[in-house]
Amino acid sequence: MAERTYLEAIAESLRTEMQRDERVFLIGQDIGAYGGAFKVTNGLQETFGEWRVIDAPLSETAIVGGCTGAALMGLRPVAEMQFADFVSCAWDQLVTVAAKQHWRAGTPVPIVIRLPSGGGFAGGPFHSQNPESSFAHVPGLKIVCPATPSDAKGLLASAVDDPNPVLFFEHKHLYRRIRGDVAEERFTVPIGTARLERDGDDVTLVTWGAMLHVAIEAAAALAAEDVSVEIVDLRSILPWDSDAVLNSVRKTSRLLVLHEDTYTAGFGAEILATVAAESFEYLDAPPQRLTAPDCPVPLAPSLERRFLPQVEDVLHALRELLAY
């Protein structure tokens, strides 16, 4: 084991996958000579050459379309969108082409789209979105949202192995702020399997990505008040581990879903609907979700902080659930 930042774990996983499989190549804007907008791919072009770490033109459509074609020819491309927000330019290639290719012709499309996402750094409305729920409605795609360095490394390895298109949402705010022990050898984390971050009896808190760390801080504060919060880190939202959530809710009888994406039609709604349909008789309070409001991400740091769920917001929501 070695301590790694979230960014270092992703970079290490990319290097490992390229070393073990010559079919793996990287493509994206400024990922080669410059090393990527966030320096995740720094040094990889020098190691593997310009044909395996490709500086692409400013066209997300061309990047994803090219990756789909390369995958159909037997390669395993990993594309970087400089910001997750820009993946909307490649919507047609992802949703209409890559996601449906297996149903159309029975052929695998093993592409990974790395999506630096989320707020917390005053990037404004065009560089801070969490568009995961937009793609969660699309059969044929997989969506992972790691919250820890170890999960980032293991889930990326699984994404490269997977025969389906995988959207890999890596949260920018975590890149250099989160550290943790990571196995130095290659390992995988199964896509679609949640992780129990914290065992508890009084209320279930389901989350993923950067909000896990907000949840952990809130749970620690409530522990001082003798309240036991169980935290389920989904890690993947397509597929998502409904069994882990349902089992936890059946134990605690209360549920709060926390995510950074906006409220209406966010993935939290899917979780609440499933719990209401399959575990209604176990509930002692209406299941709730705490999210960002339905508006674009503000640019001003003070407004962005109001936009993103904070520890105090989680504490308020949990106390209301417990008092119901």
Cα torsion 316, 170, 123, 128: sign: negative
- Give the active site residue among 102, 127, 213, 316: 127
Query: And the tokens for 102?
Result: 């297996």
Q: Is 213 a catalytic residue?
A: no
Environment class of residue 142 by beta-carbon count within 10 Å: exposed (0-12), middle (13-18) or buried (19+)?
Answer: buried
Q: What is the dihedral of CA 158, 163, 164, 166, to 10 degrees?
A: 30
Assigned token pair, 255: 């549920």
How are beta strands 53-55 and 24-28 bridged, if at all? parallel
Q: Taking the mean position of all CA atoms in its chain, how far away is CA 216?
A: 17
- Write out the two tokens for 196: 């129990």
The dihedral formed by the CA atoms of 297, 126, 5 and 267, expressed in degrees to the nearest 10:
60
For residue 40 the two structure tokens come to 């995740």
Q: What is the DSSP letter of 169?
A: E
- Decide: 244 and 272 in contact? Cβ < 8 Å: no
Q: Which residues are catalytic?
A: 127
